[in-house]
A and B are shown apart, each in its own frame.
Chain A
């Protein structure tokens, strides 16, 4: 159990974290791990804060973790990294998309987007920050941002040897987006230090 790993993918409803989780899980299954994942559906999907958890190891019990238990947080939006920072182990890693989305309360002028999210995360955790949105745009579509972040996650967790991730991606995404997502994976992998 102690060798089990936990990842938390966090973002805003509609950013595509579920596909990222699917690629991760498909690869882990192919590598022979026991895997559990947990996601929340329904009301929170409507522009709310969303999180997907993935846990793997020889034998996994709980599909959810509590605070201080995640090996990695992949934040699709930088304020969401701050929101879920408590879930990281003290020696955990964060992959953070340097991208800002106003919440409805901010858009309505009822609150201010907090300053210094990245700096605060970098001060306390080992962080890999990238502009996944811009990278995805430069590759041709903002939609592949989730796989860009996945590439960074593989590097951050040193998971290159777990499985042939490129073939997992190729088998998981729709055929017409295969090339785009493979380029996204490589770009995300190259965008961060190991």
Chain B
């Protein structure tokens, strides 16, 4: 049979397709993004879209479920925070067509602001939870998740982690099975979440979860691998793969695929068969604490810890004390943090901010968070998607209330983030008279997650041409009478825009607009900059722009030709005119 090497994300998309899913909505976020990037290949059979944010995506998918079709939404772990409101209510109301919410968690924070453990959402919101441990399970468990959702009238939280989502392993495909829509009938008792209906729905949910727990005790998703009975390990998700490598041959495993509700009588039976029970899980003691609360003795977090990713070696070290002894090289590598790319349009904006010590800049989530790194160091805070404008608002109000008058406050976010949850913040600043300049860094794409379209980019996920929402029109309609549009790569114009906004008698906002250089469908003006070493005085001012292509060697500036794209930001800051651009 044909085997395909698929990432967990690609396999989830394939699983949704084979399960007969019809409506899919998501907002990109590492490590979940590739699920939806792989869906358009199935567009003859399903509809898929990028929504403006995760709450919208969840509501769209849930609406489709109410209307009777199988539906999917997907997001990174912190996206579930944004979508929590509809998720909690959907759990009470239940589903029409099967409804699956993918949460891709990021232990070790490869590309995230925290490593929250979203398994607790399943408990808190009263969802079913399914956790795959490799790509084949991503595909197979998706199909099972839709069965569970419909059988128990419950949304399913399909929880992955970075290593499940981004690791590739071999997968065997099945066929798509069409799943005809349940004929739609208005059901106000079920679908209108008034207090009276919720009163009736809550006990229904408890009954359904109790029935699901019983089902989970015999489901093939929860598998006992009984070998010798000295050591037993209860585990799930990627931790299962790690534990298989770390524990000795002959260890028995209870490998769980349904992890909410936990199949406690299955766990109890397994525990009774082994001399010593370990619970191996990444991050929190989600399973262990429930197993202990059920009166079953086990060992887990006291050995493995709650921080960061595990791997087979760390489990060997922490459980069995087998520590590797790496050679001391006597040399250590310097950190290599990510940086704004050469030619990144955000560079000019952050350079301008970095020149003013009285500027306070509340940032946001995206490539432009890198504006906070040295040497630009031009951010004061970064909290969450859409928080740039509103955190700035709070800081400005605090300065006002405490008599601080020498600070000028900016709130900064990208175009996709503006559509995600920045628009409400822009309304807040106007409505409550904030002394804040909102700045949208409009690079015409969702950059950090790898170039997904958004409501401003002019295209949809399925590749169709779309209405392109104009950020300036939105801001003007809110009451920003002075919307200044500027090319951030022109440092003089950028500086002027900032001065004009601060001096404006009417509410002002800035749109720093230049497309990301990595957008393939745009023809970019690429060149190369070179240094005239006779003119260079080695003042290192060019290093202040924080470009990976600009170096100083032998006390003279040098520009790496392979990396430079000729944006000229370094040339504009050179006091000697020593850097010039050659056309390619």
- Answer yes or no: B536 CB below 8 A from chain A CBs: no
> Are B168 and A66 in contact, CB atoms less than 8 angstroms apart?
no
> Are B337 and A62 in contact, CB atoms less than 8 angstroms apart?
no
> Are A120 and B326 in contact, CB atoms less than 8 angstroms apart?
no
Work out how many contacts link A and B, with CB atoms closer than 8 A: 193
> Are A47 and B338 in contact, CB atoms less than 8 angstroms apart?
yes
**B468 surroundings in chain A (CB, below 8 A):** none
- Answer yes or no: A61 CB below 8 A from chain B CBs: yes
> Are B334 and A114 in contact, CB atoms less than 8 angstroms apart?
yes
- Answer yes or no: B357 CB below 8 A from chain A CBs: no
> Are A82 and B30 in contact, CB atoms less than 8 angstroms apart?
no
CB-based nearest B residue for A28: B5
CB-based nearest B residue for A82: B333
> Are B374 and A105 in contact, CB atoms less than 8 angstroms apart?
yes
CB-based nearest A residue for B168: A37
- Answer yes or no: B245 CB below 8 A from chain A CBs: yes
Partner of B163, one of A25, A38, A49, A117: A38
**A43 surroundings in chain B (CB, below 8 A):** 30, 110-111, 338, 448
Measured CA separation A80–B336 after assembly (Å): 9
> Which of these binds chain A: B80-88, B434-442, B544-552?
B544-552
Partner of B375, one of A42, A68, A110, A125: A110
Q: From residue A158, how far is it (CB to closest CB) to chain B in Å?
A: 23
> Are B333 and A63 in contact, CB atoms less than 8 angstroms apart?
no
> Are A85 and B5 in contact, CB atoms less than 8 angstroms apart?
no
> Are B170 and A103 in contact, CB atoms less than 8 angstroms apart?
no
Interface residues of A in 103-138 (CB under 8 A from B): 103-117, 120-121, 123-125
Measured CA separation A82–B336 after assembly (Å): 13
**A111 surroundings in chain B (CB, below 8 A):** 334-335
Known: A35-B169, A37-B168. Is A105-B311 also a contact (CB below 8 A)?
A: no
Measured CA separation A97–B34 after assembly (Å): 31
> Are B334 and A106 in contact, CB atoms less than 8 angstroms apart?
yes
Q: Hey, what's the 0/1 contact readout for B289-328 against A, CB within 8 Å counting as 1?
A: 0000000000000000000010111101100000011110
Known: A42-B30, A142-B562. Is A104-B313 also a contact (CB below 8 A)?
A: no
> Are A63 and B241 in contact, CB atoms less than 8 angstroms apart?
yes
**A104 surroundings in chain B (CB, below 8 A):** 336-337, 339, 373, 546, 548
- Answer yes or no: B581 CB below 8 A from chain A CBs: no
Partner of A37, one of B167, B341, B375, B449: B167
- Answer yes or no: B119 CB below 8 A from chain A CBs: no
> Are B167 and A64 in contact, CB atoms less than 8 angstroms apart?
yes
CB-based nearest B residue for A113: B334
> Are B30 and A61 in contact, CB atoms less than 8 angstroms apart?
no
> Are A83 and B167 in contact, CB atoms less than 8 angstroms apart?
no
> Are A34 and B170 in contact, CB atoms less than 8 angstroms apart?
yes
- Answer yes or no: A167 CB below 8 A from chain B CBs: no
Partner of B548, one of A65, A107, A109: A107
Known: A44-B110, A47-B338, A114-B334. Is A85-B543 also a contact (CB below 8 A)?
A: no
Known: A42-B30, A63-B241, A104-B546. Is A85-B374 also a contact (CB below 8 A)?
A: no
Known: A29-B3, A49-B336. Is A124-B311 also a contact (CB below 8 A)?
A: no
Measured CA separation A88–B335 after assembly (Å): 20
- Answer yes or no: B332 CB below 8 A from chain A CBs: yes
Q: Hey, what's the 0/1 contact readout for B16-34 against A, CB within 8 Å counting as 1?
A: 0000000000000011011
Measured CA separation A125–B324 after assembly (Å): 16
Measured CA separation A114–B337 after assembly (Å): 16
> Are B110 and A48 in contact, CB atoms less than 8 angstroms apart?
no
- Answer yes or no: B242 CB below 8 A from chain A CBs: yes
- Answer yes or no: A13 CB below 8 A from chain B CBs: yes
- Answer yes or no: B244 CB below 8 A from chain A CBs: yes
> Are A69 and B312 in contact, CB atoms less than 8 angstroms apart?
yes
Measured CA separation A68–B353 after assembly (Å): 45
Partner of A85, one of B312, B314, B327: B327
- Answer yes or no: B201 CB below 8 A from chain A CBs: no
**B374 surroundings in chain A (CB, below 8 A):** 105, 108, 110
Measured CA separation A113–B546 after assembly (Å): 17
Measured CA separation A123–B375 after assembly (Å): 35
- Answer yes or no: B330 CB below 8 A from chain A CBs: yes
> Are A63 and B163 in contact, CB atoms less than 8 angstroms apart?
yes
CB-based nearest A residue for B34: A41
**A108 surroundings in chain B (CB, below 8 A):** 374-375, 543, 546
> Are A79 and B334 in contact, CB atoms less than 8 angstroms apart?
yes
Q: From residue B183, how far is it (CB to closest CB) to chain A in Å?
A: 41
> Are B329 and A82 in contact, CB atoms less than 8 angstroms apart?
yes
Partner of B245, one of A42, A62, A80: A62
Measured CA separation A124–B330 after assembly (Å): 11
> Are B167 and A63 in contact, CB atoms less than 8 angstroms apart?
yes
> Are B326 and A103 in contact, CB atoms less than 8 angstroms apart?
no
**B316 surroundings in chain A (CB, below 8 A):** 66
> Are B324 and A61 in contact, CB atoms less than 8 angstroms apart?
no
> Are A62 and B449 in contact, CB atoms less than 8 angstroms apart?
no
Q: Hey, what's the 0/1 contact readout for B364-381 against A, CB within 8 Å counting as 1?
A: 000100100111000000
**B335 surroundings in chain A (CB, below 8 A):** 103, 105, 111
**A44 surroundings in chain B (CB, below 8 A):** 110-111, 338
Give 5 nearest A-B pairs by CB, closest first: A66-B313, A42-B111, A68-B324, A42-B30, A63-B167
Question: Given contacts A46-B339, A83-B336, could you give 20 more A-B pairs where the C-beta distance is less than 8 Å?
Answer: A29-B170, A36-B169, A37-B167, A40-B166, A41-B31, A42-B30, A43-B110, A44-B110, A62-B242, A64-B311, A65-B311, A65-B312, A65-B313, A66-B314, A106-B551, A110-B375, A114-B333, A115-B331, A117-B331, A124-B327
Spell out A's residues near B (CB within 8 Å): 1, 12-13, 25-26, 29, 34-49, 60-69, 79-80, 82-83, 85-86, 90, 102-117, 120-121, 123-125, 142
